[in-house]
Amino acid sequence: MDGLSLFKILYNYKDFLLKARINYCEYNNEIFVLSIFNRAHKNLVVNLNNKFPLQFSDEKISLSNKIPYLSNSLIEDIKQKGFDRAFYIMIAKRKPSGKLIKYKIIFELVGKLSNVIIVDETEKIIFCWNNNNIDMDRELKTGKYYVPFKSNKRYNLLSSQNCKFEEFEGFYNVTSKHAYKILEQNNYDCEKTKEMILNSLKTDTFYIDLNKKIIPFHIPDFLDKINIDQLNSLNSKTEKNENQSIKINRLKKYFSKLIDKNIKLLEKLKEELSEAKNFIKYQEEAELLKNNLHIIKNNRGLVTLNKYTENGIEQVSYYLDENENIPEKINKLFEKSEKLKRSIPKLENRIQEIKNMILYYQDTLYSIEYLDKNEIEELYQQIYTKSKNKISKKSTPSYLLFQLDDTQYYVGRNSKSNQYIITKIANPEDYWFHAHEIPSAHLIAKKNGELTENEIITAARIVAHFSKYKDENKVPVDYTKRKYVKKPKNTPEGFVIYNNYKTITVSPFTEKELEKLKTKNETL
């Protein structure tokens, strides 16, 4: 929440808040509520999960923790800290003895770092909602005196003679750009522009710009406008969409990092394999020294040695360190050569494993675009939730089903359904398809009997359509029988390796062509 939006909200609710009675105050770890009555009931809510943490709600909210000494107190005044993201509610409560006690409730509204602090008449903190503190030069603890957080801007709409909006309290990059557009329309009349913005802040209307950002003052180009009462519902919808968007982006970053990490590992392994394949170089060097021990016995520095080849003897220059132990060096060179030679098949296997793992992560990353909300949530929990009991288990994962004549084509939607169609639907003699070293869906083709050439092409074109290269003219697709597709132990869900395969290059189906192959129950 920016300071200008806070100004607008407080301006519109100030008449309701002044002289209102606080019925009760409740809170939990994420929500703080003041139940207020002034000719009508309304809740002042601070929600750490909302883009706009401050909202006014008519819904009844009941939370676990209470602050009893605020009940039945009266609101005497309300003030904002300039145009910054903080405001204060001054309240008073008369005890049965007649003594008047005053408190100040301080709201610091900085997204997920928002906090609510209550101080007594001496400014000593008697309540802190949480440990959030946007100014680490101060101490926010019960028993300490409250110090306002430092503002990083010196001026505001009322205090400055210029129109450097990015230097004003309450403005940020987006609102500054809109303010400069208004300034330009006003022929750079600074005072007129500031007055227009200030007057607009005193209305109950928010504006949605072309990038769907909520702007608290009138802007020349806007998609839509909403009043302050609609802000809460928009806030809720936006938050749900943002939460989903945040999860999708986090998943994409997670798999992108895994891909990058494995690509770096792959490059390192390839370098090691290249070095290992040069094992003969160390063997030949050891043989050279061994065959010339009679020459180098008493010689050091640059010496000329005899290299024995199929074409005869060749003289080569070789440098020997003064204190070098030649027999020991010969043994080390033979050992290194043998070790590198033995490592070649291991490195080749490891390189293939990493290639398969990269392709698996690319498949998963690619499939995120096609997952529904429940599937996103399940994948998110699998990765980020430690307690596996919280993960919802579906008996049958969703997959796509296409049919041509008597052949059925099962297409996985994600790693879980890929594994399902391979392990639960396919028989050993059914055919499995996947784009060649390209992220794509897995496909199982089922038919009583061998697939015809046309059926193989159909399956490959379906896979090409559900691949990263679906917009290309030609896509290579691998296919083999299910019995040659294996899931190694301790590998992720949907991860497979395969052999005895053939590769066919096809053009992907268009959406229109694919529509003809869909079954009545496309997604199962």
Q: Residue 265's pLDDT is what? A: 93
Residue 326 domain flag: yes
Q: Identify the CATH number of the domain in which residue 54 sits.
A: 2.30.310.10
At 19 the three-state DSSP class reads: coil
Let me know: does 9 contact 16? Beta carbons within 8 Å: no
Question: From CA 508, how far away is CA 213, in angstroms rounded?
Answer: 38
pLDDT for position 192: 94
Number of helices (H) and strands (E), helices first, in the chain? 11, 24
Distance between the two ends of the chain, CA-based, in angstroms? 43
Two structure tokens written together for 166: 């990015």
Q: Is residue 23 part of a domain?
A: yes
Tokens 């101490």 locate to 139
- CB atoms < 10 A from the CB of 362, how many? 20
CB 317 within 8 A of CB 302: yes
Residue 249: which residues within 8 A CB-CB, separation 6 or more? none
In a domain, residue 357? The reply is no
DSSP label of 505: E
In a domain, 140, yes or no: no
Residues 6+ apart with CB under 8 A from 32: 25, 45, 46, 116, 129
Give the side-chain half-sphere CA count within 13 A for 18.
Answer: 9
pLDDT of 233: 63
- The tokens of 152 are what? 């990083």
Does any domain span residue 216? yes
Q: Are residues 430 and 517 in the same domain?
A: yes
Domain boundary residue, one of 351, 378, 410: 351
- Residue 302's nearest CA partner among 318, 286, 287, 291 is 318
On whether both 179 and 92 belong to a single domain, the answer is no
- Verify that 463 and 513 share a domain, yes or no: yes
Please state the three-class secondary structure of 420-464 as a single string: HHHHHHCCCCCEEEEECCCCECCEEEECCCCCCHHHHHHHHHHHH
Please report the pLDDT score of residue 144 as a whole number: 94
Would you say residue 210 lies in a domain? yes
DSSP state of 510: P
Domain co-membership, 405 together with 513: yes
Clarify whether residues 218 and 303 are in a common domain: no
Q: Would 155 be classed as within a structural domain?
A: no
Question: Do 28 and 82 fall within a single domain?
Answer: yes
DSSP helix/strand/coil, 106: strand
Q: Are residues 511 and 447 in the same domain?
A: yes
Tell me: do 432 and 503 sit in the same domain.
yes
- Residue 423 CA to residue 487 CA, distance in Å, equals 9
104, 128, 152: which is the final residue of a domain?
Answer: 128
Q: Give burial (CB, 10 Å; 0-12/13-18/19+) of 360.
A: buried
Give the Cα separation of 138 and 86 in Å (integer): 16
Beta strands in 216-300 (DSSP E): 224-227
**Does residue 474 sit in helix, strand or coil?**
coil
Burial class (CB in 10 A: 0-12, 13-18, 19+), 427: exposed
* pLDDT tens over the chain, length 524 residues: 899 999 999 999 999 999 999 999 999 988 999 999 999 999 999 988 777 889 898 888 888 899 999 999 999 999 999 999 999 999 999 988 889 999 999 999 988 889 999 999 999 999 999 999 988 889 999 999 999 998 878 889 998 888 999 999 999 889 999 999 999 999 999 999 999 999 999 999 999 998 888 999 999 888 889 988 887 665 555 445 546 777 888 888 899 999 999 999 999 999 999 999 999 999 988 998 888 888 887 788 888 898 888 888 888 898 888 888 888 988 999 999 999 999 999 999 999 889 888 988 888 888 887 787 888 888 888 787 654 444 445 556 788 999 988 899 999 988 888 999 999 999 999 999 999 988 999 999 999 889 999 999 999 999 999 998 888 889 999 999 999 999 888 888 888 899 999 999 999 998 888 888 876 444 44
Say if 364 falls within a structural domain: no
How does 460-476 read in b/e, with b if 16+ C-beta sit within 10 Å?
bbbbbbbbebbeeeebb
Do 82 and 15 share a domain, yes or no?
yes
Looking at the structure, do residues 10 and 72 belong to the same domain, yes or no?
Answer: yes
Whole-angstrom CA distances from 103 to 37, 139, 421 are: 18, 19, 65
Residue span of the structural domain in which 111 resides: 3-128
Q: How many structural domains compose the chain?
A: 4
Answer for the pair 342, 321: CB distance below 8 angstroms, yes or no. Answer: no
Contacts of 237 (CB under 8 A, 6+ apart): none
Domain boundary among 300, 316, 351: 351
